[in-house]
Amino acid sequence: MKLLKQIATIRAGYAFRGKIEEDQNGNVHVIQMKDVDVGKGIDWTGLVVTDLPGKKQPDWLKNGDLLFVARGNRNFALLFDEVPFDTVLSPHFFHLTVKRGVNILPGFLAWQINQEPIQHYLQKSSHGSMVQAIGRQVLDNMPVAIPSLEKQQAILSVNHAWQQQLRVMAALTDNMQRTMTGIAKQILREN
């Protein structure tokens, strides 16, 4: 077992001062809460384009990085397989990068964060009366297991197959709902 701070660099999202103003001629895309879904991932087409204020070089998202949702009732991690353009996170997120030389696959780290033991740790450790939030110290001290790379890959393969199965089942359910709606409409027209 390791602590998250031992295996990953943890950075806060970009500190915007005030509202994120859209600028179609801007130089960066910003991921906000509305763009993130635990099941669907990132809605890259809906990102706000803006121009970053200040001269400080931002922490650009890179392939293999993780986003961690730090606010709200569901705290989860998403892996960036492919970042299509210069992108930063809004302040509602933490930006995680696995440190060099650590034998953990970024996808496995995201998977582990999203599982019940870590979710229980996060729920116990969150604070806030209206909106729950996870603080940096809680994230720093999150316990993470690091099995062999072979075991990590096997777990990710099983998880990938399960996710595909969930998508197929959702499509079948949606199709059946449309069929039932069509039958109901037809019956109403006949009577």
> Could you read off the pLDDT of 39-56 as tens digits, one per residue?
888 999 999 999 887 777
Separation between Cα atoms, residue 129 and residue 112, nearest integer Å: 27
Please tell me the predicted confidence (pLDDT) of residue 129: 63
Res. 74 pLDDT band, cuts 50 70 90: confident
Residue 104: count of CB within 10 angstroms of its CB: 19
Name the 3-class secondary structure at 129.
coil
Res. 130 pLDDT band, cuts 50 70 90: low
Residue 58: count of CB within 10 angstroms of its CB: 18
What are residue 86's phi and psi, to 5 degrees?
A: -60, 120
Q: Which of 34, 93, 28 is nearest to 65 (CA)?
A: 93
Whether the full predicted model's pTM is greater than 0.75, yes or no, is: yes
Question: Is the CB of residue 62 less than 8 Å from the CB of residue 97?
Answer: yes
Quickly tell me which residue has 């992108």 as its tokens: 87
Separation between Cα atoms, residue 58 and residue 85, nearest integer Å: 13
Q: Which of 124, 166, 161, 162 is nearest to 141 (CA)?
A: 124
Quickly tell me which residue has 């989860």 as its tokens: 76
> Could you read off the pLDDT of 80-109 as tens digits, one per residue?
999 999 999 998 899 999 999 999 999 999
